[in-house]
Every structure is written in structure tokens, then in C-alpha cells.
Amino acid sequence: MKPQQWHFYIVNLEPRVGTKPGKQRACLAVQPSEFALAGLDSTVILPLTTNVAQSDAFPLRVFVPKDTCGLAQASDLLVDQILSWDNSLFVKDLGVAPDGIIEEVKHAIREFLDLTTCH
């Protein structure tokens, strides 16, 4: 599979190591699609958790409502758990994220990595 940017996927994240989430779970591909088309064997993703923060955790988390791309439960994207994962472990494409979530994720990544100001 050649993952596409801003698509949700089920990804096999086994084995669990430290704070890295294990098992198969939904993730959002944030790496531009051109890298997969150019032959890279991995894709940068943000995993989701159904353990939704009870208060605003921006920019560490971005809320994703239930039923977004068929998700059975409301979830949070874990911006602080950004991973590069082998494309062979992408199991299923769930579809493209809504524009509002894409924009919020872009903003969260810029804030988390302190890319909001020019020096």
C-alpha cells in the first residue's frame, strides 16, 4: 500500500514499546503522498486513541469525532506520538480526513514543533 497524506488508516503498530501505542489502530498519515510515490518504504503518521482528553490538550491532541471516516468512537490524534512506520504494516484505508481536522492537525504540528515563528 502507498499511503496518502491526510488519509486515516488502520495500521499494525505491534509491538508496544514504552509510550508507543501497540496493536492495530487507526492513524492519520501526515507525510506528503509524493514521498510514497517516490519509493520511500515508510510514512509519517499520528496514532489515534479512544482515551479522549477530558480537557483541552491542544497542541498535544486533536479531537476526532465519532463516525469520522467510519471511526466507531470519538478519538484524539496523538500529535506528540508522531511515528514513521513501514508501509507494509498499513492494513486498511479508512478515507480522507475532513478539511477542518486537517487544518487543526497542521496547526497543532506547527505549535508542537515550535514552527510558528520565523527566526
| Domain extent at residue 40 | 7-112
Q: Coil, strand, or helix at residue 104?
A: helix
pTM over 0.85: yes
**CATH number of the domain within which 100 lies:** 2.30.30.110
**Residue 12, CA distances (Å) to 58, 86, 119 in order:** 26, 9, 39
Contact 81, 46 (CB under 8 A): yes
The residue whose grid cell reads 514499546 is 17
Contact 27, 42 (CB under 8 A): no
Tens of pLDDT along 42-86?
A: 999 999 999 999 888 999 999 999 999 999 999 999 999 999 999
Residue 40: inside a domain: yes
Residue 1: inside a domain: no
Domain count, the chain: 1
Cell of 25: 489502530
What is the predicted pLDDT for the residue at 55?
A: 87
